[in-house]
Amino acid sequence: MTTEHLTKLIEMVDGGALKVHVEKTFPPEQAGAAPQNQGKESPRGKVALKVV
């Protein structure tokens, strides 16, 4: 994946052409629990770490 690809993806998300469904977020201290929860509620949702 190149910078150009990432730029195009960002443009698609910002323009509403591409939507990412985040099923659940985890703080960094619970990062180990994220893989076990992926797909439990919805096979389409993504699991993300919340970094502030």
Q: What is the pLDDT of residues 3-50, one digit of tens each?
A: 999 999 999 989 999 888 877 788 888 888 777 766 566 556 677 778
pLDDT of residue 44: 64
Contact 13, 36 (CB under 8 A): no
Over its C-alpha atoms, the chain yields an Rg (Å, rounded) of 13
- Scanning the structure block, which residue is given the tokens 């990432």? 6
Question: What pTM did the predictor assign?
Answer: 0.45
